[in-house]
């Protein structure tokens, strides 16, 4: 279960969240990651020490260092304490023009630097309505994971995030989510083999809330969630994590 804070929270607010979240007690047998803005990564990492909760980055560049003003590298993110990094979020694709080929380079950098990526894919409303959902997911998976062998996929996480469900309050129905996740699993199996497909968690993202996590997590191919807006309040994110743990009996 991963929190994507996007460009929200000051360092002080991030610290306060972590302190409150830790007080809310055990979250069941669930792996939890919190991805703050990069400037709050160190504060979140140190605040989470000893909790088993991972601090993560929201984005990183593939070169280790160089004249890339404004960027941080996968290596720098790892050195700053990130235990995972979100790659290819739809806001990066749409607003910052990140293309599949760039994301492939970033994923390769994650392998090189041993920093597990949460690789985001998902269709727009227009693509869904014109029956292109599977085509889009297939393209994003093929190009993003191009040349990456099954033996390098350890630690990889895929996040299916339909763009029309992100920040809109309109989540995919559990059936729509399960259908897309099953398709992603099938593509992974075909491309990387059964072991890699079974061993790669697939998260759902898009308007996840405490009220819908239970029904979403009933889908057998849903392994967790990437949560934006509803992860900004400690109580709400804790309720989502607990809801997922309960739904999956862990
Ligand atoms: P949301 O965002 O939960 O606010 O819809 C999810 C995401 O963008 O990862």
Q: Is the pTM of this model over 0.95?
A: yes
Catalytic residue among 91, 98, 161, 181: 161
Tokens standing for residue 61: 């560049």
- Each residue's pLDDT tens digit, 40-82: 999 999 999 999 999 999 999 999 999 999 999 999 999 999 9
The confidence band for 244, taking pLDDT boundaries of 50, 70 and 90, is: very high
- 26: pLDDT strictly greater than 90: no
Query: What is the 13 CA–ligand 1 centroid distance (Å)?
Result: 19
pLDDT at position 154: 94
Determine the longest span between alpha carbons in the chain, in angstroms. 48
- Which residue range forms the structural domain that includes residue 150? 2-248
Burial 173-206 (b: 16+ CB within 10 A, else e): ebebbbbbbebbbebbeebbeeebbeebebbbbb
Mean pLDDT for the chain overall:
97
Span 193-234, pLDDT tens digits: 999 999 999 999 999 999 999 999 999 999 999 999 999 999
In sequence order, which residues have a C-beta less than 8 Å from that of residue 30 and are 6 or more positions away?
1, 224, 241, 244, 245, 250
Report which secondary-structure segment, H or E, holds 119. strand 117-121
Q: Is 98 in the pocket of ligand 1 (CB under 6 A)?
A: no
Residue nearest to atom 3 of ligand 1 (CA): 228
Q: What is the pLDDT of residue 27?
A: 84
- Give yes or no for residue 123 CB within 6 A of ligand 1: no
pLDDT at 28: 81
DSSP string, 32-84: -EEE--GGGHHHHHHHHTTS-PEEEES--BSSSSSS-TT--BHHHHHHTT-SE
Q: What is the pLDDT of residue 25?
A: 80
pLDDT at 189: 98
167 lines ligand 1 (CB under 6 A): yes
Say whether pLDDT at 5 is over 90: yes
Q: What is the CATH number of the domain that holds 127?
A: 3.20.20.70
Q: What value does the mean pLDDT take over residues 127-156? A: 97
Q: With a cut of 90, say whether residue 87 has pLDDT above it.
A: yes
Provide the pLDDT for residue 164: 97
Please answer whether residues 21 and 248 qualify as being in contact, where contact means their C-beta atoms are separated by less than 8 angstroms. no
* Number of domains comprising the chain: 1
Q: What is the pLDDT of residues 98-122, one digit of tens each?
A: 999 999 999 999 999 999 999 999 9
Q: Is 157 in the pocket of ligand 1 (CB under 6 A)?
A: no
């Amino acid at each position: 279960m991963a929190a994507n804070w996007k460009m929200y929270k000051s360092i002080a607010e991030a610290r306060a969240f972590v302190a409150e979240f830790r007080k809310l007690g055990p979250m069941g047998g669930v792996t939890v990651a919190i991805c703050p803005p990069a400037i709050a990564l160190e504060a979140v990492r140190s605040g989470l020490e000893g909790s088993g909760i991972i601090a993560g980055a929201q984005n990183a560049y593939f070169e280790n260092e160089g004249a890339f003003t404004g960027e941080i590298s996968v290596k720098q993110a790892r050195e700053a304490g990130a235990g995972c990094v979100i790659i290819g979020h739809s806001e990066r694709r749409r607003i910052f023009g990140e293309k599949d080929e760039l994301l492939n380079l970033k994923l390769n950098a994650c392998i090189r630097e041993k920093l597990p990526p949460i690789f985001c894919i998902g269709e727009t409303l227009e693509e869904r309505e014109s029956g292109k959902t599977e085509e889009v997911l297939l393209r994003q998976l093929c190009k993003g994971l191009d040349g990456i062998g099954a033996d390098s996929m350890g630690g990889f996480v895929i996040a299916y995030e339909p763009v029309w469900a992100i920040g809109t309050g309109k989540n995919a129905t559990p059936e729509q989510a399960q259908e897309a996740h099953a398709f992603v699993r099938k593509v992974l199996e075909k491309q990387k083999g059964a072991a890699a497909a079974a061993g790669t968690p697939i998260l759902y993202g898009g308007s996840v809330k405490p009220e819908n996590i239970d029904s979403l997590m009933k889908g057998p191919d849903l392994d967790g969630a990437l949560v934006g807006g509803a992860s900004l309040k400690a109580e709400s994110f804790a309720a989502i994590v607990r809801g997922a743990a309960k739904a999956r009996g862990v």
